[in-house]
């Protein structure tokens, strides 16, 4: 199946699901948080093994830094 | 047999039989070395609660130094740089990680066929699917490659393969187990849970991995889960759509129960569970996959993923773009609330609900099942995820030599009660104790 066909199929499935739910009367649930503050925890201790693996996983790196092209996602 | 001898035996079994079953994607290269350390602790009586147990981990859970590929080409060479909270807890209690288990790619599937590294086979029905998405975890336990396994359950991904492979699989209440280090499918529904050959072993593993975690704000404090002696209990049985032979098997199993009142219950919107579940999953999965852009690690997901993953990404993108109308995600969340309320109301009148885990028998590996048919096979398992409640699947028997699971669902945070009921039923004739 090519990408366009998969997209069409996904849309069809979702439209059928939306149609099935359309007439159901249901109220919206809201979750209210007790606090609007987020506690920041202490940062983790530097971990050399973590750093080593992160760099191993990176496709492009230079002098201990990961080289990630800006805006590549949108291309 | 010593622990080291047991580990050697299991590793040999994996070497010999995994080519056929394909449950394990990576064996822990340090397994034997670690087993020797654990054995020393066992001998000196300083070992933790999981000492002597081997555990396979679904490949969407980070295990430091091992390949958390999510059974996808996207993360084929990705090495986990930290331990998920559940893994940290297992290691603290001297559990031995024996290997990384196969699954449907990024946990997208109910068959175990969607792995980029080949389908997993069902050790107890070799020509049938093992269920999914935690296919390798269930198959590894069923094949005797390990004692226990971890899976993740978003809409039945633990209970479905447990049912197909004839083992015990449990999804805890949402929040009981930390999701930190789990590569998410749908963050509002995902939970990590145990697989085992019996109810007691599943309980031991759950007790080790549960608990509040500062790295997962949705995690909660919970009480120790215990198997208790049951008094007279009331079980609700809804009328659900399922294969007549499966229904008959479950009904017969229920007739064996003593000191149990069986009542029929109604869940009016249960038939809309699948239609409610998938729009939520598509949307949250699309969002979750935006990090797989191939810049910092792995490959760009859309360029290498399989059909089901691409379907969910493209569908999720479509929903996100069209969401201003509230037609898909918002509506699905509203109906989720309704289904949750109906299940809670039903559970106010009974102690637990019992139904088949799956409405159909595991289909043949080579059969052509449509996407819609595969989604429909989740109809009974997604209920527990939508309602955020605990559910356990235990073997109920066989239909034509094929394992069939029964599902026990309880109120939120009543893990002890459903484990107690599961223990009682599983200990009856035919259960593995």
Please say if the pLDDT value at position B144 is more than 70: yes
Q: Domain of B347? A: 1-433
Q: Does B214 touch chain A (CB under 8 A)?
A: yes
Mean per-residue pLDDT of chain B: 96
Please say if the pLDDT value at position A75 is more than 60: no
pLDDT in tens, B92-127: 999 999 999 999 999 999 999 999 999 999 999 999
Q: Do B375 and A13 touch (CB under 8 A)?
A: yes
Give the residue from chain B lying closest to A75, CA to CA.
B293
Closest by alpha carbon to B15, among B194, B147, B145, B149? B145
What is the complex's ipTM, to 2 decimals? Answer: 0.91
Q: In what order do the strands lie in the sheet with B233-238?
A: B24-27, B96-101, B54-58, B148-153, B191-196, B168-171, B391-399, B402-409, B352-356, B233-238, B260-265
Q: How confident is the model at residue B432 (pLDDT cuts 50, 70, 90)?
A: very low
d(CA B145, CA B149): 10
Q: Which residue among B79, B338, B371 places its CB closest to the CB of A13? A: B371
* 0.90 surpassed by pTM: yes
Output the DSSP codes for B41-86. Answer: HHHTT---TTTT-EEEEETTB--TTSB--TTSGGGTT-B-SS--HH
Judged on CB neighbours under 10 Å (0-12, 13-18, 19+), B1 is: exposed
d(CA B349, CA B351): 7
Which helix (H) or strand (E) is B153 found in, with range? strand B148-153
d(CA A26, CA B338): 6
Please say if the pLDDT value at position B433 is more than 90: no
Domain harbouring B299, CATH code: 3.90.1300.10
B62-66 average pLDDT score: 98
Q: How confident is the model at residue A72 (pLDDT cuts 50, 70, 90)?
A: low
Contact B336, B280 (CB under 8 A): yes
pLDDT in tens, B371-416: 999 999 999 999 999 999 999 999 999 999 999 999 999 999 999 9
Residue B132 tokens, joined = 């999914």
Please say if the pLDDT value at position B297 is more than 90: yes
pLDDT at B429: 61
Helix, strand, coil % over all residues of chain B, rounded to 5: 40, 15, 40
User: Cβ–Cβ contacts within 10 Å for residue B67, how many?
Assistant: 16
CA angle A60, A61, A64 (to 5 degrees): 165
Question: Best of B69, B331, B376 to disrupt the A interface by mutation (most A CBs within 10 Å)?
Answer: B331
Question: B91 phi and psi, to 5 degrees?
Answer: -65, -40
Q: Do A69 and B295 touch (CB under 8 A)?
A: yes
Residue B173 tokens, joined = 């209440």
Mean per-residue pLDDT of chain A: 86
Chain A residues whose beta carbon lies within 8 Å of the beta carbon of residue B276: 17, 21
Percent of the residues in chain B that have a pLDDT greater than 70, as a whole number? 98
B254-260 average pLDDT score: 95
Chain B residues whose beta carbon lies within 8 Å of the beta carbon of residue A24: 269, 272, 334-335, 338
Residue B286 tokens, joined = 């699309």
d(CA B23, CA B138): 8
Output the DSSP codes for B264-331. Answer: EE--TTGGGHHHHHHHHHHHHHHHHGGG-SSSSSS--HHHH--HHHHHHHHHHHHHHHHGGG-TTHHH
Q: Does A71 touch chain B (CB under 8 A)?
A: no
Q: Does A43 touch chain B (CB under 8 A)?
A: no
d(CA B405, CA B101): 21
Contact B112, B139 (CB under 8 A): yes
Residue-range domain boundaries for chain A: 46-75
pLDDT in tens, B314-353: 999 999 887 766 789 999 999 999 999 999 999 999 999 9
d(CA A70, CA B60): 27
Q: Do A57 and B78 touch (CB under 8 A)?
A: yes
Handedness of CA B117, B118, B124, B129 (dihedral sign): positive
Grouping H, G, I as helix, E, B as strand and the rest as coil, residue B106 is helix
Contact B326, A18 (CB under 8 A): no
pLDDT in tens, B185-201: 999 999 999 999 999 99
Residue B251 tokens, joined = 């009904």
Burial B309-339 (b: 16+ CB within 10 A, else e): bbbbbbbbbbbeeeeeeebbbebbbbbbbbb
- Annotated active-site positions of B, please? 58, 133, 157
Please say if the pLDDT value at position B430 is more than 80: no
Contact B100, B26 (CB under 8 A): yes
Rg for chain B (alpha carbons), in Å?
20
pLDDT at A43: 81
- To the nearest whole Å, the CA of A5 is away from the closest chain B CA by 9
Q: Do B295 and A14 touch (CB under 8 A)?
A: no
Q: Do B295 and A6 touch (CB under 8 A)?
A: no
- To the nearest whole Å, the CA of A66 is away from the closest chain B CA by 7
Give residue B253's region: left, alpha or beta (phi > 0; psi -120 to 50).
Answer: alpha
Cis, peptide link before residue B133, omega less than 30° from 0: yes
Contact B220, B209 (CB under 8 A): no
Contact B315, A14 (CB under 8 A): yes
Chain B residues whose beta carbon lies within 8 Å of the beta carbon of residue A53: 65, 79-81
- Sequence-ordered list of residues with C-beta below 8 angstroms from that of B10, at least 6 positions apart, any chain: B54, B98, B144, B145, B146
What is the total count of domains within chain B? 1
Please say if the pLDDT value at position B272 is more than 50: yes
Q: Which residue has the higher pLDDT, B262 or B430?
A: B262
pLDDT at A28: 79
């Amino acid at each position: 199946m090519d990408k366009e066909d998969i997209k069409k199929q996904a849309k069809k499935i979702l439209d059928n699901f939306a149609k099935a739910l359309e007439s159901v009367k249901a109220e919206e649930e809201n979750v209210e948080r007790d606090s609007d503050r987020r506690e920041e925890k202490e940062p983790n201790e530097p971990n050399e093994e973590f750093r080593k693996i992160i760099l191993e996983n990176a496709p492009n790196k230079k002098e201990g830094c990961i080289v990630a092209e800006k805006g590549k996602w949108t291309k | 047999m010593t622990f080291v001898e047991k580990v050697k035996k299991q590793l040999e079994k994996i070497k010999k039989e995994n080519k056929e079953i394909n449950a394990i994607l990576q064996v822990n290269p340090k397994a034997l070395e670690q087993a020797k350390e654990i054995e020393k602790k066992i001998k000196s009586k300083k070992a933790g609660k999981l000492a002597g147990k081997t555990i396979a981990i679904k490949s969407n859970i980070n295990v430091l130094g091992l390949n958390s590929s999510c059974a996808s080409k996207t993360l084929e060479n990705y090495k986990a740089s930290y331990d998920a909270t559940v893994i940290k807890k297992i290691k603290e209690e001297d559990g031995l990680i024996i290997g990384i288990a196969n699954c449907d790619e990024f946990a997208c599937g109910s068959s175990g066929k969607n792995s980029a590294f080949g389908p997993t086979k069902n050790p107890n029905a070799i020509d049938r699917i093992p269920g999914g998405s935690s296919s390798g975890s269930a198959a590894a336990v069923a094949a005797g490659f390990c004692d226990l396994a971890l899976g993740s359950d978003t809409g039945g991904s633990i209970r479905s393969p447990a049912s197909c492979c004839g083992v015990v699989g449990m999804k805890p209440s949402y929040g009981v187990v930390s999701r930190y280090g789990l590569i998410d499918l749908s963050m509002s529904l995902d939970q990590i849970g145990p697989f085992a050959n019996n109810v007691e072993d599943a309980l031991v593993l759950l007790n080790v991995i549960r608990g509040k975690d500062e790295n997962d704000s949705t995690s909660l404090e919970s009480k120790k889960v215990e198997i208790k002696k049951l008094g007279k209990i009331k079980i609700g049985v809804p009328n659900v759509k399922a294969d007549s032979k499966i229904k008959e098997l479950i009904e017969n199993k229920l007739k064996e129960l003593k000191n149990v009142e069986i009542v029929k219950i109604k869940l009016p919107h249960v038939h809309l569970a699948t239609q409610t579940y998938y729009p939520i999953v598509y949307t949250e999965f699309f969002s979750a996959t935006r990090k797989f852009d191939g810049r910092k690690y792995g490959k760009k997901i859309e360029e290498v993923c399989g059909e089901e993953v691409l379907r969910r990404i493209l569908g999720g993108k479509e929903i996100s773009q069209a969401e201003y109308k509230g037609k898909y995600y918002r509506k699905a969340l509203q109906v989720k609330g309704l289904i949750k309320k109906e299940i809670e109301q039903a559970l106010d009148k009974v102690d637990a609900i019992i139904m088949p885990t799956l409405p159909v028998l595991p289909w043949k590996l080579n059969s052509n099942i449509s996407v819609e048919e595969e989604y429909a096979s989740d109809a009974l398992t997604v209920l527990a995820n939508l309602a955020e409640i605990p559910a356990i699947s235990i073997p109920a028997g066989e239909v034509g030599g094929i394992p069939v699971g029964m599902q026990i669902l309880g109120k939120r945070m009543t893990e002890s009660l459903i484990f107690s009921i599961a223990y009682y039923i599983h200990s009856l004739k035919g259960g593995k104790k």
